[in-house]
Amino acid sequence: MNTSRGNEWTWIRLDVDEKEKCREYIDPVHWRRCRDWFDGIGIADRNDLRMETEVSGQECLFGSFVYRQDLHKKDDFTILYFYLTRQTFVTVNLNPALIQKTSMDQILRLVKSAEDAIDAFFILQGELMNEFLYGIDEFESKLRELIWKFYNDNGTHILEQIHNHRHELLVLKGLIHSVKENQFAVEEAFLIESGDRAGHERTARRVKRGSTLIAGYEEEIENLYHSEEVVSSYRGNEITKALTIFTTIFTPMTALGAIWGMNFKHMPELDWKYGYAASLILIFALTILIYLFLQQKGWTGDLLKKKKRKSFYK
C-alpha cells in the first residue's frame, strides 16, 4: 500500500490482495454506500461506473475501467478499480509498469499540485490518456506505411492488414472512451465545470485531441478499405469478363470440334477431299468474326491491352 497526501486530501494505492486495507481510509458514511465497489474488486471484468449524489458535499464516484488491452488477446487486459470523493481517492490494481511513457515519480510530482482528490483523479486520467496518445502516434506511422503499401503493391494481403489496423484502432478508441466516460461521470457527480481545475482541463483537451485523431484515422481506414474493395471488385469483374469473352470466342472451335468428333457411321464430311482444310478455315473465320463483333460492341474493354505498371486497374 502507498499513500500520497495533498492539501486535505489523500490518494491511496492498493494491490488487489490489499483491498481490505482501503476500508480504514474511507469515511463510514461513504463506506455504507460503496460495498458494491468493494465486493467487485478483483471480480469485475468490464467498465463500470456508479455514483451517489444524494447528500450535497458527500458525493462519491466509484467503479472500474480497462486501462490496458492486448491487441490480439481478448482476455489479456488490466482493470483499474477506483473510489473517489472530494477528500479521498483510492485506486486498486494500478500497475506503474504499464504506464510506459510517464514514470510513477513523475505522476506523483504532478499529483502534488492537485487542489483536491478530484483533481488528482483527473491528473492520473490525463497521464493514462497521454499513454493512449502515444499509441495513436505509433498507429499513425503504421497507417502511413500501409497507405503506401496499398499504392505500390495492391495484393490481397493488403486487405488483411487493413482489417488488422481497423481492429487496433477500435481497441484504442475503446480505451479513450473509458477516459472520456470517466471525465463526464466526474463532472456529473461533483458538478465540475470545464476550466475549474488544471488537471481537468488538460485531461479534457487530451481526450478531445485523441477523439479527433481517432475519428480522422477511422475515416482514412474506411476510405482505404473502400478503395481496396473497389479494386478487388473491378479485378474480379475483369476476370469474369475475360473468361466469358474467351469462352465466346472459342465457341465455334468447341462446337464444331464436338460435332466432327462424333463416331457416327455415316458422316459425309469425313469423305470430303478438302474437308479438313475447310473445317479449319470455318473455325478460324467464325472465331475472327466473333472477336470483331465483340470488339465493335466495345465488350472486350482493356482485356487485350498490356497491363500498366503501378496501376490499380490495368
Strand pairing of 10-14 and 48-52? unpaired
Q: How many residues does the chain have?
A: 314
Q: What angle do CA 13, 18, 23 make, to 5 degrees?
A: 80
Q: Is the pTM of this model over 0.85?
A: no
C-alpha atoms less than 13 angstroms from C-alpha of 31 in its C-beta half-sphere: 9
Mean pLDDT, contiguous 10-residue spans, the chain (314 residues): 80 80 70 72 78 83 90 88 88 86 85 87 91 90 85 72 87 92 91 77 91 91 78 72 79 81 75 81 85 76 55 52
- Note the pLDDT of residue 101: 81
Residue 298 CB partners (closer than 8 Å, separation 6+): none
Among the listed residues 1, 15, 11, the one whose alpha carbon sits nearest the alpha carbon of residue 92: 15
pLDDT of residue 301: 61
- Measured between alpha carbons, how far is 157 from 176 in angstroms, rounded to an integer? 29
What's the pLDDT at 310? 53
| CA distance to 65, 97, 197, per residue, from 45 (Å) | 8, 20, 31
